[in-house]
Amino acid sequence: MLTALAIWLGWQIVTALVVQRAPPESAVRIAPGSAQALSRAAEAELVAERPDQAADLAILTLRAAPFDLRALRVLGLVRARTDETAADELLTLAGNWSLRDDPSHAWLMNRRLRVGDYVGAYGHADTLARRRVELRPTLFRFFTTAAALDPRAMPVLIDRFGVMPNWRGEYLEYLRTQAEGPQIQAALAVAVNDRRGRMSDTELEAIYYDWAATGRLPGLRALRTRLSRPPLTPLHDGEFDDPPGPAPFRWVTVAAAGLSASLSEDGSRDGQKALLVETDGFGISDAAVQLLMLDPGPHVFSAAWRTEVGEDEPRMTWTLTCVESGQTLFSWTPDDAREWRRRQEPFVTPSVGCTMQRLRLTTSRGERRSTIVVWFDHFQIDPGTVKSQEN
């Protein structure tokens, strides 16, 4: 009895392996009553373009195993050739049984799209995009084209985007290469800005930098105005103590060979933060940069500074230039100041060719290396003309 039982168990193991791995025809011959063998054979017949045989095998499988997902999908795909309504019912059931049944979700996505059901189409596309990385370029093309051409699709895309799916970052990167990209980027950023899934500072930075680099300055100005990120002030974080926002509309400090710029606590003023710039007095580089959106007309730039270590020439200069034209609106090189001093620089923003401005601190090279340490604080830009003199 033990020998017979061992032989029987061995045969069952061999049969199970054959059903799983052998060619479908061989699996059916060895285990004709196996639902798994029958469903594999049904799938093979469908691939071989023998739909009638595929349907018969799928039906046999479902009689033996009513919850066999593969057989249900095969039967649904066969019915789709003659009766889409019946196929919809079968494949919807298969899709509901498993989020991993990619062929069912792909067919359902196209079916929903054909009947104008964008909620359903985007739902099935989202299911595929979350699992199948290799399908994302095709699915992203669907997301973008549908949203750009049909107003009904955009709200659905916004809802899917707003729940922060795992493909969100990759989709934003994809939009950078598409003609419709800026339109979709702006719609998504504005729509989710007051929601839980609003764009992060990092996501917005990528859009801001890309639009600035490609010359979409009027659109960039309009987008930042709508989002108010960072808050709409002439100069962001002039006291160096505000929460950070998306670059380049905040201070971007640079570390390079012989140069360090950081927001640090100033020990001489009970821990107040300020911009600390340290240089060897030999390198040439931007130490701090911020992009501005000033309105046309007269303005006054004011700042305070203190030299901690250095010579009479700090070897660093603040400049404000128009992004489009490159016109310099003012240039100021602070001198040696061992105590805190203030400076005002009047300037006029042109009405043409100056949609945005770039404020930057640039270090310059002296005849020899010399350590220079300067603190900056109390930056401000006000509309109007100078009301008081430097003190």
Q: How far apart are CA 246 and CA 96, in angstroms?
A: 41
- CA quadruple 264, 265, 266, 267: dihedral sign: negative
Kindly give the residue spans of alpha helices, DSSP state H, lying in the chain: 2-21, 24-30, 35-47, 51-64, 69-79, 84-97, 102-114, 118-131, 136-149, 153-162, 168-175, 181-191, 201-213, 217-227
pLDDT at 11 over 50: no
Q: How far apart are CA 235 and CA 322, in angstroms?
A: 15
Q: Which residue has the tokens 């059903």?
A: 19
Please report, as a single letter, which amino acid is at residue 86. A
Q: What percentage of residues in the chain have a pLDDT greater than 90?
A: 53
Mean pLDDT, the chain, rounded, equals: 86
- CA quadruple 38, 42, 44, 50: dihedral sign: positive
Lowest average pLDDT, out of 80-84, 287-291, 323-327, goes to 80-84
CB 79 within 8 A of CB 111: no
Q: Which of 12-26, 76-90, 184-198 is most confident? A: 184-198
Q: Is 39 exposed, middle or buried (0-12, 13-18, 19+ CB in 10 A)?
A: buried
* 308 vs 165, more confident: 165
Q: What is the pLDDT of residues 185-243, one digit of tens each?
A: 999 999 999 988 999 999 999 999 999 999 999 999 999 999 999 999 999 999 998 88
Q: How far apart are CA 71 and CA 54, in angstroms?
A: 9
DSSP string, 20-48: HHS-HHHHHHH-TT-HHHHHHHHHHHHHT
Please report, as a single letter, which amino acid is at residue 249. F
Of residues 364, 197, 179, the one with CA closest to residue 282? 364
pLDDT at 18 over 70: no
Instruction: Write down the pLDDT at residue 391.
Output: 40
Instruction: Write down the pLDDT at residue 28.
Output: 52
pLDDT at 5 over 60: no
Instruction: Write down the pLDDT at residue 268.
Output: 67
Q: How far apart are CA 309 and CA 128, in angstroms?
A: 60
Neighbours of 76 (CB within 10 A): 24
Q: What percentage of residues in the chain have a pLDDT greater than 70?
A: 87
Q: How far apart are CA 163 and CA 122, in angstroms?
A: 13
CB 184 within 8 A of CB 148: yes
pTM of the model: 0.81
Q: What is the average pLDDT across 323-338?
A: 92
Q: What is the pLDDT of residues 109-158, one digit of tens each?
A: 989 988 889 999 999 999 999 999 999 999 999 999 999 999 999 999 99
E strand or H helix that includes residue 308? strand 297-309
Lowest average pLDDT, out of 57-61, 125-129, 290-294, 370-374, goes to 57-61
Q: For residue 289, list its beta bridge partners.
A: 252, 360
pLDDT-derived band at 8, boundaries 50, 70, 90? very low
Instruction: Write down the pLDDT at residue 267.
Output: 67
Is omega for the bond preceding 103 within 30 degrees of 0, making it cis? no
Three-class secondary structure of residue 291 per DSSP: strand
List Cβ<8 Å contacts ≥24 apart for 387-390: 387/300, 388/344, 389/344, 390/341, 390/342, 390/343, 390/344
Q: What is the average pLDDT across 154-171?
A: 96
Q: C-alpha 9: how far from its chain's center? A: 55
* 312 torsion bin: left (phi>0), alpha (psi -120 to 50), beta (else): alpha
Q: What is the pLDDT of residues 248-282, one digit of tens each?
A: 999 999 888 788 899 888 766 666 889 999 988 77
pLDDT at 65 over 50: yes
**Share of the chain residues as helix, strand and coil, in percent rounded to the nearest 5:** 45, 20, 35
Residue 243 carries which DSSP code?
P
Instruction: Write down the pLDDT at residue 297.
Output: 96
Q: What is the average pLDDT across 33-58?
A: 80
pLDDT at 161 over 60: yes
Q: Is 103 exposed, middle or buried (0-12, 13-18, 19+ CB in 10 A)?
A: middle
Cα-based distances in Å from 278 to 317, 333, 362 = 13, 15, 12
Q: What is the average pLDDT across 362-382?
A: 87
Neighbours of 14 (CB within 10 A): 11
CB 119 within 8 A of CB 156: yes
Lowest average pLDDT, out of 13-27, 76-90, 280-294, goes to 13-27
CB 305 within 8 A of CB 353: no
